[in-house]
Structure 1
Amino acid sequence: MTESTPLPAPRVAAILLAGGTGTRAGFDHPKQLEPLGGKAVLRWSIDAFDAHPAISLGVLVANGDVMAAAGDTGKGWIYADPGIERQQSVGHALLALADWEDEALVLVHDAARPGLTADVIDRLLAALETAEAAIPTLPVPDTLVEQAHGEAGEVIDRSALARVQTPQAFRLGILRRAHAAAVEAAATDDAQLVRRLGIAVAAVPGDARLHKLTYAEDMAILAGLLGTGTMRTAVGMGYDVHRLVAGKPLWIGGIEIAHSHGLEGHSDADVALHAITDAILGALADGDIGDHFPPSDPQWRGAASHRFLAFAGERVAARHGRIAHVDLTIIAEAPKIGPHRVAIRARIAEILAIPVERVSVKATTTERLGFTGRREGIAAQAVATLELPEN
């Protein structure tokens, strides 16, 4: 009796989806290009697949700018154009694998989950030895309730629920069938399409480090999970004052307020935005508004102060930090700031691209004392709290 020759292991391909714009994250570039621990978010997944001995080919689904940022890889990678929806992007990747046999294995992964480990890949591939498809899942630790009209309802039994992650693993032929059958149907992941064929999907333990980058705040969570460094809190204070003069528009907090007088200055003299700008620059230990926008430079004559504040916000982003809170106090006898407070908060939040809940705007008077009490000018002071990575 002769021993049978073992069958060769099936080929394994990785599909990395990096075609989304990630607008909810609020970055000025696709979220998969946001730096994390010294490299772009999507590079973490590329490196994880490159390092795994079972992966023989990768398909990066991305546009040209993202492809260029991905750089060289240790294994052969090919590229596919992203679609409008995730399902179309996977379909394009499958076309790129047209010459691969149905028995091959494929891992479909979202680039927004940089915490991919070899252990998760191993568990998925092991599951495919007996299953047609497999996904990583985590238990739901929180209490779940139904919710309607802002009110909590009945508690939902979480014991039968799980959080689904990527990568999701499939026999290539099964994934092809699932996408071919779903031309007129949509799904948020590929496992849903496979289940619609009546095929069981195995679940393997996931990993908390596969946290998904959706909002800017997720970067701090990922940095902690992936051990890329700790964050420190930095606080800065800003103060500004300008004289009130007749015949000029009055800009405070990025909005124009109807008043008999306006503020005199080289730019539009918005004391509120100037104070916040200096507070942010102070927290960064990056000089003050005059260092970056000197009054001696004619290009800033009459400039809108939102440009200065947006610049300060960009300096925070360049340091891979975040603006945790802004507290502004406007000191004026007139006009009354109260009726404009909501609009000022919203405008500051818009300029800095942060939630309005992180912006506080207050107003006070000096009880008719001093230059503000005599209505000769308006002053503002601000405190900015930042979270910055440790050097």
Structure 2
Amino acid sequence: MTKSPNPAGLKTAAIIVAAGRGLRAGAGGPKQYRMIGGRSVISRAMEPFCNHPQVFAVQPITNPDDIAVFNEAVSDLRYHNPANGGATRQASVHAGLEALADHAPDIVLIHDAARPFVTPALIERAIAAAQITGAAVPGVAVTDTIKQVNEAGHVEATPDRARLRSAQTPQAFRFDVILEAHRRAAKEGRDDFTDDAALAEWAGLTVATFEGDLANMKLTTPEDFIREEARLAASLGDIRMGTGYDVHAFGDGDHLMICGVRVPHTRGFLAHSDGDVGLHALVDAILGALADGDIGSHFPPSDPQWKGAASDKFLKYAVDRVTARGGRIANLEVTLICERPKIGPLRDAMRAKISEISGVALSRVAVKATTSERLGFTGREEGIAATAATTIRLPWTD
């Protein structure tokens, strides 16, 4: 991944620290790979850096055991090959710095993957602060009164909260300075620093602060996930519904593609693509909820590139249109209308395939079937029809 340097002529890189196990977050695997608001935590954390015009390189740090799930979670982003993390956060950051050394950035931003709500504005403030001071961290003013206690839990002091800040990431440094500090700490056997600002202070650097962001919170406990899911849901107040309809006639063939599942049959579909009426109806429902045309306007049958195309591409495209607008799909429902094949035995496989393609939870995907009581073209077994419905939630824009 290579971009132009920022307007000041300085090259800025970002390190995303994602090698931790996140045990305090409870069951479910490393927290950076869990879903929040319909997207993985690590995808949300990395995307603002990958897309920022002033960041020329993004260097993830991962646990080697996680590489497959990492690649799947961020497959749509551009970044440098992940470096292997160490036994501590400090060791992981050091590995990331060494991985970037040959690229010679002027500034490096070090960000925790467990902070998925970083904004472009915060990244810009971090870069600006590093240009001025060489070492800076985002800080949020403390609003609660803080008590310093001894081992027995007795209060020893009450610090002046006006002078206290809650430190966040991305922390920003001149690259050569923080790399040298990490090398020195490793040489002297110091591996107990909980953030890079503390290491920089130990190395004798003056660390400045800049304005943080209250929304840029770190996901640590199960309660954090519950709270932030609720916050994200509350922010998506533009609730929309969409419906879709599709029909395809039978022709020669020995199988049908229905809701992404290959179904053996005595006939095939007459269609430009694979003729998957279920997925086509779902695509139209999603595009309708977005007021974004229909499947024919995005994938015209006159275009030869879609001849024989698998319809999972169309559904993934429609889902990505929702995600690109900051939205979420609340549910997907499709009803198949046919005499044969019998859908009941295949219902769960179809639901699972739709869930896999769309990323919508299986509990939010419904597949139903009905006949037309031998009436009409479906009753005469000349083809299959499908209707679909969806509800999506978008941020308010007007």
Band of TM-score, shorter chain: 0.5 to 0.7
Q: 2:24 matched to 1:24?
A: no
CA distance in 2, matches of 1:213, 1:298: 47
Q: Secondary structure at the match of 1:268?
A: coil
Which residue does the alignment assign to 1:318?
324
Which residue does the alignment assign to 2:366?
360
Amino acid at match of 2:59: A
Taking structure 1 as the reference length, the TM-score comes to 0.56
Q: 2:355 matched to 1:349?
A: yes
Go from structure 1 to structure 2 and tell me whether the alpha carbon gap of 1:260 and 1:119 turns closer, same or farther (over 3 Å shift). closer
Q: Deviations over 1:141-164 (max 9, x none)?
A: xxxxxxxxxxxxxxxxxxxxxxxx
Unpaired runs of 5+ residues, structure 1, are: 1-15, 47-59, 70-80, 97-107, 132-164, 192-206
Shift of 1:285: 0.6
Which residue does the alignment assign to 2:46?
33
Which residue does the alignment assign to 1:240?
246
Which residue does the alignment assign to 2:92?
89
CA distance in 2, matches of 1:31, 1:279: 26
Which residue does the alignment assign to 2:339?
333
CA distance in 1, matches of 2:260, 2:306: 16
CA distance in 1, matches of 2:336, 2:352: 16
Q: Deviations over 1:44-87 (max 9, x none)?
A: xx9xxxxxxxxxxxxx98349x9xx9xxxxxxxxxxx8543563
CA distance in 2, matches of 1:28, 1:350: 18
8 Å CA contact retained: 2:336, 2:369: yes
Go from structure 1 to structure 2 and tell me whether the alpha carbon gap of 1:331 and 1:92 turns closer, same or farther (over 3 Å shift). same
Shift of 1:386: 0.8
Which residue does the alignment assign to 1:6?
none
1:224-235 alignment, distance < 5 Å: 224=231, 230-235=236-241
Q: 2:59 matched to 1:62?
A: yes
CA distance in 1, matches of 2:226, 2:304: 39
Which residue does the alignment assign to 1:254?
260
CA distance in 2, matches of 1:349, 1:222: 20
Amino acid at match of 2:44: K
8 Å CA contact retained: 2:330, 2:391: yes
Q: Deviations over 1:335-362 (max 9, x none)?
A: 1111111111111111112221221111
Structure 1 vs Structure 2 CA RMSD? 5.2
Higher helix share: 2
1:7-22 alignment, distance < 5 Å: 18-20=16-18, 22=32
Identity %: 43
Count of matched residue positions in the alignment of Structure 1 and Structure 2: 276
Shift of 1:233: 0.9
Shift of 1:247: 2.3
Shift of 1:89: 1.8
Q: 2:301 pairs with 291, 295, 303, which one?
A: 295
Amino acid at match of 1:24: R
Shift of 1:112: 3.6
1:192-271 alignment, distance < 5 Å: 209=215, 211-212=217-218, 221=228, 224=231, 230-271=236-277
Shift of 1:231: 3.0
Q: Deviations over 1:312-370 (max 9, x none)?
A: 11111111111111011111111111111111111111111222122111111112122
Go from structure 1 to structure 2 and tell me whether the alpha carbon gap of 1:278 and 1:212 turns closer, same or farther (over 3 Å shift). farther
8 Å CA contact retained: 1:211, 1:222: no
8 Å CA contact retained: 2:41, 2:114: no
Q: Deviations over 1:32-53 (max 9, x none)?
A: 1346xxxx6998xx9xxxxxxx
Q: Deviations over 1:174-204 (max 9, x none)?
A: xx69x9477xxxx9x949xxxxxxxxxxxxx
8 Å CA contact retained: 1:18, 1:112: no
CA distance in 2, matches of 1:362, 1:239: 14
CA distance in 1, matches of 2:328, 2:365: 13
Q: 2:389 matched to 1:383?
A: yes
Taking structure 2 as the reference length, the TM-score comes to 0.55
CA distance in 2, matches of 1:274, 1:368: 24
Which residue does the alignment assign to 2:198?
none
Unpaired runs of 5+ residues, structure 2, are: 1-13, 20-31, 62-73, 100-109, 123-136, 151-166, 172-180, 196-212
Q: Which has the larger radius of gyration?
A: 1
